[in-house]
Amino acid sequence: MDEPALIKAAQRGGLDSFNTLVLAYQDILFNTALRIMGDEDSAADATQEAFLSAFRAIKSFRGGSFKAWLLRTVTNACYDELRRQKRRPTAPLEPETDDGEEMETPRWMADPAMSPEEEAEADDLEHAIQHCLDELPLEFRTVVVLTDIQGMDYKEAARTVRTPLGTIKSRLARARLRLRECLQGFWELLPAAFRLEEEGIRT
């Protein structure tokens, strides 16, 4: 894929060229949105909105990392979507038990109609991590997603969220500390292979 050529063609209005770029980056953008938003439907909406905004604004792209530029677009789309959801909340974030008390474990994320096996599968590492990510303030979550999940370096992350490098360092350290605290509560839920791996690191 000749990315610069495709970008130039897209800047001239070539939708086919832009769609080639969409196919190349849609997984990355969707995963970023998924980790920031916490649910697939909202993530898909934000991703679609991000690509739409990117096409409209592609003439303003002046070189550099196209991936970082797209990630900034999807981050903005997520912020917009979250703001919109906050204005018009549709469902409570935490479900309640029959007694009206809020559920605290990640087991609430499992479908009650699931079989025990499926339930065990649903209570896996991914759900535990997502739950902990959701607990983070939005700006911390975004930095963690960009650096630890998308593998960006600090400078790229700083450019993406338009924040000074020092703030990125600070937010990342705080976010990792909070995540550590949160994940300690779900240690038993981690897959056996991962636990062994982590135990190996410890020794």
- Interface with other proteins (CB under 8 A): 13, 15-16, 18-19, 22-23, 26-27, 29-31, 34-35, 40, 44, 47-48, 51-52, 55-56, 125-126, 129, 144, 147-149, 153-154, 169-170, 172-174, 176-177, 179-180, 183, 190, 194, 197-198, 201-202
Query: Least separation, in Å, of the C-beta of 77 and other proteins?
Result: 11
Cα 127 to chain center, whole Å? 13
Closer to other proteins by Cβ: residue 100 or 192: 192
Closer to other proteins by Cβ: residue 103 or 177: 177
The Cα–Cα gap between 158 and 164 comes to: 6
User: Which residues make Cβ contacts (< 8 Å) with residue 157, sequence separation at least 6?
Assistant: 143, 146, 147, 168
Residue with tokens 């650096």: 147
The Cα–Cα gap between 57 and 141 comes to: 26
Query: Least separation, in Å, of the C-beta of 93 and other proteins?
Result: 20
DSSP assignment of 138-171, as one string? Answer: HHHHHHHIIIIIT---HHHHHHHHT--HHHHHHH
Query: Least separation, in Å, of the C-beta of 47 and other proteins?
Result: 5
Query: Least separation, in Å, of the C-beta of 35 and other proteins?
Result: 7
